[in-house]
Amino acid sequence: MFTGKFIDNLYYDGVNLRAKGKSGELSKVFLKQGQLDGACVIYSLMMMLIFQQKLDWDDLRQRAIYSNDDFVESIQRKFLKYGLKGGPKRGHRMLDVSKKLNDCLNQHLSEYYTCDKRTWYTVSRHELYEKIKNQLDLGKPVMLGSHGEKGPGHAVVAIGYSREHPKKLRLFCLDPSSFIPYMQLWNNVIDVDYLAEDDSLTDYDHHFEDKIIVSRILIINDPPQPVLPFDPESNAIPF
């Protein structure tokens, strides 16, 4: 029997995958490359922001000049100069995107981690996979960055996982490189080698049929809740 854990803000209306956007209304969420300017990292970021209720689908349709929202305007100016028109396909590094996103949010809500020893890595490979699982356990999506035998790096959004094999973490992903099959919530499955510690290509991308390594992630946290100076109930006057 299949058992899995999926993010909280995930809906299906029989036709489209949907999520509640910043307005609280159900919004389309999946983006396929060709609809926006930018490459896979930007598509994955926009899906993340809708899932995290920072954007609505309609916010992606217009240029920044039409927006009355400072955050939306900042996102459009930094990442979407052409809106849903299929502009330039220039790629972005996840680390740079995380920094720009924090500028837009005016808070350190975006976090980037990598186990890639070719760069300035921050965590071990096992720690990286633990962070993926922990974020999904919280009901939040995770942007995954990988590279493999068949080509350059790629980015997708993990929306769920299963642990049917003790050594593997199976991740259900939204991949902007292809359409979502009919009556399905995801269009790619990535198996990560949960116990791996080196940098060998022991993960597997089922869509591209490629041995890969998931070596970097981007997560978006919720803003901290305000802390009251006292507990109203403990200071209540008894009657």
Cα of first residue to Cα of last residue in the chain, in angstroms, is 55
Percent of the chain with pLDDT over 90: 52
pLDDT for the residue 208: 92
**Domain total for the chain?**
1
In a domain, residue 11? The reply is no
Query: Residue 119 pLDDT > 70, yes or no?
Result: yes
pLDDT tens by residue, 7-58: 999 999 888 899 999 999 998 999 998 877 668 999 999 999 999 999 998 8
Percent of the chain with pLDDT over 70: 83
* Beta strands in the chain, from DSSP E residues, in sequence order: 5-6, 11-12, 17-20, 26-28, 110-114, 142-148, 154-162, 168-174, 188-193, 203-205, 210-220
- What DSSP character marks residue 51? H
Give the model's confidence band at 71: pLDDT under 50 very low, under 70 low, under 90 confident, else very high.
confident
In a domain, residue 10? The reply is no
In a domain, residue 54? The reply is yes
In a domain, residue 33? The reply is yes
Of the candidates 112, 104, 109, which has an alpha carbon nearest to the alpha carbon of residue 79? 104
Distance CA 55, CA 20 (A): 9
Query: Residue 114 pLDDT > 80, yes or no?
Result: yes
> Which residue intervals of the chain are DSSP H helices?
40-51, 70-79, 94-105, 125-137
Find the mean pLDDT for residues 53-77: 77
In a domain, residue 63? The reply is yes
In a domain, residue 81? The reply is yes
Domain that holds residue 48: 16-220
pLDDT tens by residue, 163-215: 888 889 999 999 999 999 888 899 999 999 988 888 899 999 999 999 999 99
In a domain, residue 233? The reply is no
Query: Residue 237 pLDDT > 60, yes or no?
Result: no
In a domain, residue 166? The reply is yes
State pTM to two decimals: 0.88
State the average pLDDT for the chain.
85
- What are the distances in angstroms from CA 196 to CA 31, 126, 128? 31, 6, 11
